[in-house]
Amino acid sequence: MKRFFTVLLLVCLIVAAGSAAFASADKPLAGQTISIFIAATGIDEIMAEFTKDTGIKVNYLNMSSGEVLTRLRAANGKILADAWFGGGVDSYVKAAEEEFLEPYISPEAEKIPAQYKDPNGYWAGLSVCAVDFIINKDVAKEKNLPMPASWADLGKPEYKGEIIMSNPSISGTNYSVLFHLIQLFGEEKGWDLIKKIDSNIPFYTKRGAAPPNKAALGEVAIGIDPYDCGVKIIEQGYPVVSVFPEEGSPGFLSPIAILKGAKNMEAAKAFVDWSLSKRGQEVQMANTAKVGTRPDADAPEYLKGLKEAKIIVVDPVKSGEMRKSIIERWQKEFGSKAEQ
């Protein structure tokens, strides 16, 4: 049975102001340092605010959620980090199944709607990010390409060689695209469209942030893009526009979790608490183009691009259950074009 949560994200256009202190005045864990895996943008600013509020320092390694899962599997029980922040929820679901995560139900999690968190406390959703198309207007004009308005458009032959997407076996963002298309159009028609889009893609990049960057630089006309990456490029003045597909865009949940056996457990819990708090979510929204999962957290004005977008939030459980079969088929049929 298909089960996915459809929402029209009407973003509250209130500029986040002020910064009420989250931690208590004595900052009981000040001076401790945690190590985390991160798949997110704007992270330096976010971590600086966390350290300011709690006194806890952060060492982090930025990589896609699929890469984190691969490292955890290869570690053979060795503790690699204390926590995991951001990326696609499908990898967190698999990590919980494979016992890489430490259950922790933060007191802040009660403010998070049930569909955005694991009932056993293995992960909790930080934010929802949508997928859009970043289109280079200059390239489109030069090559007389029409502006794509839909997923179906991306499968048209006039876009041959002009679309870039990241490797969905590594990128949680683009795994969500595959899952979304299969759910949206059905198994047969979904894979048929994936094949048509693939015929227009010269290669698949390793990182989810690469496609919008390549479109911005004019290497291709279109990048399939996590909105939080593309909006930063637009702000930098590149000749690009953002388009949300008219059939609906996958909204993928970015969670947070504590890794099993974390060496700095109390500091890791404090990190989760802060990240799920109203203060923490407002800091994150001020530095990324993702909508926080807390209904009481105010969104900044620059998220207005999501106001009218049709966002279909990917069911985290079903996407996690289907990940292995979808990725295996994708690798067999299209994986030879993946960047090494």
Q: What is the pLDDT of residues 222-251, one digit of tens each?
A: 999 888 778 888 889 999 999 999 999 998
* Any domain includes 5: no
- Tokens 């289109």, located at residue: 135
Asked if 59 and 145 sit in the same domain, the reply is no
Cα 106 vs. chain centroid, distance in angstroms?
Answer: 21
CA distance 226 to 288: 11
Asked if 156 and 103 sit in the same domain, the reply is no
* Any domain includes 312: no
Q: 121 pLDDT exceeds 90? A: yes
CA distance 297 to 20: 13
Selection from 179, 200, 199 nearest residue 89 by Cα:
179
* C-beta atoms surrounding 28 within 10 Å: 13
Number of domains in the chain: 2
Asked if 32 and 174 sit in the same domain, the reply is no
Asked if 143 and 242 sit in the same domain, the reply is yes
- Residue 289 confidence (pLDDT): 76
Q: Which residue range is the domain that position 115 belongs to?
A: 13-128+252-303
Asked if 324 and 207 sit in the same domain, the reply is yes
Q: 337 pLDDT exceeds 50? A: yes
Asked if 20 and 102 sit in the same domain, the reply is yes
* Any domain includes 291: yes
- Residue 251 confidence (pLDDT): 87
* Any domain includes 8: no
Asked if 31 and 149 sit in the same domain, the reply is no
* Any domain includes 22: yes
- Residue 165 confidence (pLDDT): 96
Asked if 200 and 88 sit in the same domain, the reply is no
Asked if 59 and 82 sit in the same domain, the reply is yes
Asked if 222 and 331 sit in the same domain, the reply is yes
CA distance 33 to 50: 12
Asked if 290 and 179 sit in the same domain, the reply is no
- DSSP lists the bridge partners of residue 130 as 251
CA distance 116 to 126: 8
Question: How high does pLDDT run on average in the chain?
Answer: 88
Asked if 164 and 84 sit in the same domain, the reply is no
* Any domain includes 174: yes
> What is the CATH number for 175?
3.40.190.10
Query: Could you tell me the pTM of the whole model?
Result: 0.73
* Any domain includes 311: no
Q: 146 pLDDT exceeds 50? A: yes
